[in-house]
Structure formats: structure tokens, C-alpha cells
Amino acid sequence: MSFPHQRPRRLRQSATMRRLVAETRLHPAELILPAFIKEGVAEPQPIASMPGVVQHTTDSLKAAAAEAAELGLGGIMLFGVPATRDATGSASLHPEGVLNAAIRDVKAEVGDALVVMSDLCLDEFTDHGHCGVLREDGAVDNDATLEIYGRMGVAQAEAGADVVGPSGMMDGQVRVIREALDDAGHEDTAILAYAAKYSSAFYGPFRDAVDSALQGDRKTYQMDAANRTEAMLEVALDLEEGADMVMVKPAMSYLDIVRDVAEMADVPVSAYQISGEYAMIEAAAANGWIDRRAAITESVLSIRRAGADTVLTYWAAELGRWMKEGSL
């Protein structure tokens, strides 16, 4: 009887052996924590569709940022939820607006112990919920939006953001923001471009998180889920325009895109494990259908294994705590 000479199972025989030969590992510095701050609330507001995630007050956001820094996380990505909105998202530009104030507060709290990132988009600030200003026919005006994005980038840099994250998928946004930052003397402010951002069904809970007023959809500017090659064009354009890092969003449903981008980009690649991906695992775990900790860990490992250098995930702090405890 012939027996196999090669036995891959030899390297799976114990937890210590599996740990020794693991090809992909998680480290806190690879994780970025998305965080929301809501103007005018006295205490953190739970987000029903995202169990465990809240709309922060200034104090609770500062505490979350301090914990992220203490855990050694790579960064925090800030999103603002203003009390009032208008057609042009003017609150995004005000130095004392909710997001710019939050950047300043978090930067003062953590200094250089954590990379402070800020979402650069109008959707949280407009009364129609789109990522740009609208023309009379209701379509998003790409070039008029770019002018505002440039000013937003400067406002966020002046508030202290280390990295701005343009997420609106307007054509030419990285170039306009880079030029605006440089002209204002913020040459050291980096750009993490949401380069391949798809129009996804999995954004639903995020819209609860930012109290979105969206009317219609974003299919004319976010990418079609059917397209793969187009993502390479979008990434190439952002790199040509000066992106320091690029992102794929969503992550779990687009792991093929993460791999493609990781293979072609010569800058760090991020992927965003979005609200719907988070909510599905939390809901399944709450019903006892899956092992929560194992599912969280496996899901983030899959994104890293696909090629993402960093992962934006709402579990970043929890994963960091598990790593610190030595239980991951």
C-alpha cells in the first residue's frame, strides 16, 4: 500500500504549530477605527443597526481615540454628523463645525500617538445626502463639488488632520485636493484616496450612523458592482493625481479588487470593512448562528490576506484589546 510522502497536515497538528506557520497575522498598527461624532448630543447615541457602535460626544470620542492610541492602533477615521445641513454642505467648511472641531480635539488628545484621519465628503453635510452639490436637474455637479472639496481639505488640514480621505468618487478629486493643500502650505498632509468605492447594498447601517438624508442613489458616481477592470483605472488616476494611499470600499464583497489593487499599486493599500459587513456578523452572532470572535477574526484576516496593508474596521479597538490580552 502506498502512503503519501507529503502530508500538509503535519503543520496543522497543534495551535502552536499553526501559529508558527501562519502566513497572515494581525497587528494593531494595521487597523484603523472609524468613529462618528454627532453635534449637540449630551451622551453617546447607540446606532441600532450597528450594535456596539455609537455616535460620539466630544468627550467619548476623545476617550475612544485615547484608547485606540494606547492599544497601538494605526489610526482613527473621523466622520461628523452636523446639527444642520444645507444644499452645499457649508458646515463642512466652518472651522468650528462638528468635524473640524473633532479633528482638533482628537489631535490635541493623542498628538502623534495615533494617525488622525478625516473623511472628506459632503454627504454628511448636505440636506439631500449626496456627496456633492446638485445641478438644477438634480444630478451631482462634479466640478463645482471639486472646488468645495479643495476647501474642505484645507479646513481639515488646518484643524490638524494628518490624513484626509476623499470618499466622494468625483473625477479629479485627488488632484484638486492635493493642489489646494500644497497652495495652503500643507504639503505634509497625506491623502488616503477612496479610489475604488462601489455603490453597494451594504452601506445601509452607515446611513443610520450619519443620519443620512440621501434622496435617490449614488450610482452615477460610485462604481458599479459588476466592474473589475474599471477599478484599476480609478486607482491609476488617483495615483497619477498624487494619492499617498488608496482604498477599496467595501472590503469583504470585493476581495478580488483588493488583490488586484495590491498587485498594481506602489503605495499602501487600505480596505474598509463597512457597516453592512459588520452588521451581518453581529446579527448572526447575536442569533447564535456563528462564533462571534472567530468570525470577526477570520473576516479581518481575509482582508489582510487579500493584500490590504491596513483595514478600516469597527472592531479595531476590540481586536486590539484581544491582541493586548494575548487571546488572539
Amino acid identity of residue 137, one-letter, is: D
Amino acid identity of residue 200, one-letter, is: S
Single out the catalytic residue among 62, 107, 197, 219: 197
For residues 196 and 145, give the distance between their C-alpha atoms in angstroms, rounded to a whole number: 19
For residues 63 and 59, give the distance between their C-alpha atoms in angstroms, rounded to a whole number: 6
Catalytic annotation present for 249: yes
Single out the catalytic residue among 62, 107, 219, 249: 249
Q: Which residues contact 198 (CB under 8 A, 6 or more apart)?
A: 222, 223, 224, 225, 249, 250, 254
The pairing of strands 245-249 and 115-120 is unpaired
Catalytic annotation present for 38: no
Q: Is 289 exposed, middle or buried (0-12, 13-18, 19+ CB in 10 A)?
A: exposed
CA distances 199 to 168, 172, 240, 314, Å, are 11, 19, 23, 20
**Residues with active-site annotation:** 197, 249
